[in-house]
Amino acid sequence: MDDPRTGLAERIAGEVTLSDEPGETLRKWRTDFEVSQTDLARELEVSPSVVSDYESGRRASPGADLVARFVRALLAIDERRGGEHARQFARVLSAGFDSDVVLDLREYSRSVPLAQFYDHIGATEVAAGDRSAISGHTVIDSIRAIAELPSEEFYRLYGQSTNRVLGFTNVTRGESPLVALRVVNPKPNAVLLCGIEESDLWEHAPDLARRDGVSLAVTPLEPETLRARLREFP
């Protein structure tokens, strides 16, 4: 079986090489992998200022050799830390999605109570669903997903199973995700609206969730904080 990191490495290198702002793209992938400029510089055997200069555009666009070294360095650091970021991105890319649409996708090794998930991220359940356990989660950018994915392709967001939480970021009141899910079958166990409080929620959202037997919850956490919390779960 091919190493999934090979496809991921090619994807990163391609994005950097084809980007109109390669320094910004380098920064994006470095921060997505949670690697500091200092750690990356140490792996590349250069000074942190060199990394900073490339990311800020103060140095000329990186050539193919540097891009290859950059990708290898990111993957090497991640592998020493357990390889979770590479596995996450490989899962998303193998499902056929852009990493800007699916922010996090993970399968758990066991089924866990939904209440435990909500407690871990400080979410508030506003409508109870028919199922009380989950075995994975997917977090997506709602605007990009709704704009780019036809309803018949939403099922691919579920990964291995619909027995999961489907989280939406970039929401204001939750109208679009709840309306979109009305035409999606099968449905996830739970829907999480990220970055809003219960008082911000669209008044009809709980009723729509109950009608479909889907748990609905909100969390004030912004995407990066949410992803950091989810890396520690279950």
**Cα radius of gyration (the chain):** 19
Specify the CATH architecture of the domain 4-88. Answer: Orthogonal Bundle (1.10)
pLDDT digits (tens, 9 = 90+) for 25-34: 888 788 778 8
pLDDT digits (tens, 9 = 90+) for 109-119: 677 899 999 99
The residue ranges of every structural domain in the chain are 4-88, 97-230
Q: Which residue in 177, 178, 169 sits closest to 226, CA to CA?
A: 169
CATH classification (class only), 97-230: alpha beta
pLDDT surpasses 70 at 91: no
pLDDT digits (tens, 9 = 90+) for 153-168: 666 676 656 788 999 9
3 state SS of 205: helix
CA distance 168 to 192: 6
